[in-house]
Amino acid sequence: MRYYIFILVICVFSVYFSCNAKRDKKEVVQVEKNIPLNDIQKMSKTRGNLKISKSRIDIGEIKKGKNITHKFILKNIGKENVEITDYRTSCNCTGIDISQKTISPSDSVTVTIIVDTQDKGLGKHNIYTTLATNGQRKYYNLELYFALVN
């Protein structure tokens, strides 16, 4: 019986000390060195600047299975061309169509976002697309908010 009590005490102490040791440790994050710059970082910045009238759109309630299509218009209010170098969407349900990749000063571009809601669950959703440019601002977020209903 004493043997079992002794083993139990040892187990309790080892659990106690191991938990305290984990709290005291600081997380170490290693950073790789000599990572090559991506194409966006290599491109020279221009004096072009895109302006979006509204970057966050609340669509409201949409019936599940219906596609959502919204057009964002971006205007170059700068003095040089702006090039859209890349884009990323928040999910595979989102398609994007960009009318032109290079936007001249005082010219506009239409970015059409199409969301397929077939595989999404009911309720509120936030879909976003990030555009990368070589202009004064490197990144532009275009967001759609909507709620799926039956």
Per-residue pLDDT at 68 exceeds 70: yes
- What integer best gives the mean pLDDT of the chain? 81
Phi (first) and psi of residue 120, to 5 degrees: -90, 150
Q: Collect all residues with Cβ–Cβ distance below 8 Å to 74 and sequence separation of at least 6.
A: 50, 51, 52, 103, 108, 109, 111, 131, 140
Per-residue pLDDT at 23 exceeds 90: no
62 or 12, which is more confident? 62
Per-residue pLDDT at 132 exceeds 90: yes
Q: Give dist(CA 106, CA 37) in Å, integer.
A: 31
Which residue segments constitute the domains of the chain, with CATH numbers given?
52-148 (2.60.40.10)
Q: Give dist(CA 88, CA 82) in Å, integer.
A: 18
When pLDDT is cut at 50, 70 and 90, the band that residue 30 belongs to is: very low
Report, as an integer, the average pLDDT of 37-58.
Answer: 72
Residue where the block lists tokens 């221009």: 46
Q: Collect all residues with Cβ–Cβ distance below 8 Å to 52 and sequence separation of at least 6.
A: 72, 73, 74, 140, 142
The fraction of the chain above a pLDDT of 70, given in percent, is 76
Report, as an integer, the average pLDDT of 134-149.
Answer: 92
When pLDDT is cut at 50, 70 and 90, the band that residue 22 belongs to is: very low
User: In the β-sheet with 108-115, what is the strand arrangement from edge to edge?
Assistant: 50-52, 68-76, 108-115, 94-98
Q: Are 129 and 113 in contact (CB under 8 A)?
A: yes
State residue 29's pLDDT score: 38
